[in-house]
Amino acid sequence: MRDPDTQQIYRQWYGEYIPVDTTEEDIDPVNPNPNSDPIADYITFDNDHGAYGRSVKKWEDFHTYLAAGIMGASCLLPFYNAGFDLAALSVRDVLVTTGGTTLGLSTLAFSRRYLHGEFMYGRMALLSAALVVGFNIVGAAPSLDDMLVGWTTIGFASTFLIGAFNDRPTARDNAAFAFGAYQLSDAALLSSVALSTVDAADNTLAAPLTALFLIAAANIKSSQFPLTGLFMRSMEGAKPNSALAYAGLSAHVGVVLLTEHMDLWFQYEWARALLVTTGVLTAVQSSTVSYVRADRKGAIASASAATLGAIYVVLAAGQADLALVLCLGHASFRINQVLRSVSSIQSRNQWEADLGAEKIAADQVNPDTYRIAWQLNRLNQDLFKLPDVVSNVDLKEPLNFYNSKASQFAAVAASVALIASFHLPQTDEFIAELIREAPLFAVAILSANVVGSTAVVRFVLGNVLTFNRFRQNRFRV
């Protein structure tokens, strides 16, 4: 074994660690001497195993630097939108994108060690970078319609991070559920964009509906009432990805959206009351559920939604800057909680022992509180679940046509391109025009997109992407 600080190699010998002199010429790495000489059992790393380890490190370093570069470049979006004119630069946009990029880079640094050797490391790193890019687009967008691309990018990146380990049925179902929710949020934001351009003299309902759809888009993304189970369902991915998205950027992008466009909703008392009502209901329900969740990540997800509900109450009071500051602190705190969740029991026991209050058993929840929390949790599981029309597209087994990596990649790329074509600027303009001129037809198209695109994603996760793509010849030694 090697000391990580001094790089000295040691051999365990009858309970003792004896330094090994690796410069001796009598070491035979192929046929080591089995005698008692401690240096005789030293085997060099200059073999197929070492070559494979170096190739993995090189591949992961490449994706790490690429993802970090993408994140850093997206942080410059406020300067690009201002034409690199410091006089026209929005300080708030700079602070928002800097905060989002800092959280992204910190989580990426953690992933470099935590996910080392993971077959999907490259994909996870680039999807995390796409998540940061989407957040920064929303944070730096000069207008509401410019946020659409970033809003959609967050949804796509989040979905495939949730469904990364798609060999598990729950990961497939929950990723599809999250994607359907994100499509609803996209439709709400697009409706708000379309109605925000309508002259109030021509349609007196346009401005109130703009505010309503804007709040709906933000609430869905932030797992607010009644979709309080979204964050819990989104915790299927790797721990660093869950921390970055559902404790960090994706969770708080709704607050960024509303703070950037308070002129569209804050003037209406009913809009502020709606934000307070959903925030309070979420805070009560999710905080109660967090006490009875058996899994640590699910409990943190519920607690995050509850705290976001309180932040929305602060925002409804007109304190936009305070809400953003609270978001940064809350995101940092929850990300740290998720990353440390694997050792949360040990950490708590150690803290209690250091304080002289070590316990033999954990605290028990009051039985009445437990029953109430369980019923509230059932709302997420029974009333809001993946519709059968979407889940039934799963053929229960991968298609033979998609066995090779190349065919899987082509099928996934074609499916994602088909879904993404609905979110192109030209398509958004067409749908926005329909919302203004033929709203019922637009609702039908948006509804068909939500169901159809969610079904396609569910099919891709259940029948196209299989773990056969990880069977590579380079692993055979």
Confidence of residue 36 (pLDDT cuts 50, 70, 90): very low
What residues contact residue 191 under an 8 Å CB cut-off, 6+ apart? 209, 213, 435, 442, 446
pLDDT at 58: 93
Phi and psi angles of residue 11, each rounded to the nearest 5 degrees, phi first:
-120, 135
Of 39 and 442, the one with more pLDDT: 442
Confidence of residue 378 (pLDDT cuts 50, 70, 90): confident
pLDDT at 474: 44
How far the first Cα of the chain sits from its last, in Å, is 23
Confidence of residue 296 (pLDDT cuts 50, 70, 90): confident
pLDDT at 375: 84
Q: Is the pLDDT of residue 473 over 60?
A: no
What is the C-alpha separation between 263 and 249, in angstroms, rounded? 23
Burial class (CB in 10 A: 0-12, 13-18, 19+), 233: buried
Q: If you write DSSP's letter for every residue of 92-158 in order, what string do you get?
A: HHHHHHHHHHHHHHHHHHHHHHHTTT-TTHHHHHHHHHHHHHHHHHHHH-SSSTTHHHHHHHHHHHH
Q: List, for residues 214-240, the tens digit of each pLDDT value.
A: 999 999 999 999 999 999 999 999 999
Q: Is the pLDDT of residue 468 over 90?
A: no
Among 33-42, 44-53, 399-408, which stretch is predicted with the lowest mean pLDDT? 33-42
pLDDT at 122: 94
Q: Is the pLDDT of residue 70 over 90?
A: yes
Residue 399: CB atoms within 10 Å: 14
Q: Where are the domains of the chain?
A: 10-41, 48-471
Q: Is the pLDDT of residue 462 over 60?
A: yes
pLDDT at 40: 46
CB 175 within 8 A of CB 461: yes
pLDDT at 52: 81
Confidence of residue 475 (pLDDT cuts 50, 70, 90): very low
Q: Name which of 215, 222, 382, 345 is nearest 286 in CA terms.
A: 222
| Long-range CB pairs of 454-457, under 8 A, 24+ apart, other chains included | 454/176, 454/179, 454/180, 454/183, 454/390, 455/389, 455/390, 455/393, 456/415, 456/418, 456/419, 457/159, 457/163, 457/175, 457/176, 457/179, 457/415, 457/419
Q: Is the pLDDT of residue 303 over 80?
A: yes
Mean pLDDT for the chain? 87
Among 112-121, 336-345, 402-411, which stretch is predicted with the lowest mean pLDDT? 402-411
Confidence of residue 313 (pLDDT cuts 50, 70, 90): very high
Where would I find the H helices in 14-90?
A: 48-74, 77-81
Taking the alpha carbons of 22, 27, 30, 34 in that order, is the dihedral positive or negative?
negative
3-state secondary structure of 440: helix
Confidence of residue 34 (pLDDT cuts 50, 70, 90): very low
What is the C-alpha separation between 442 and 213, in angstroms, rounded? 14
pLDDT at 130: 97
Q: Is the pLDDT of residue 43 over 60?
A: no
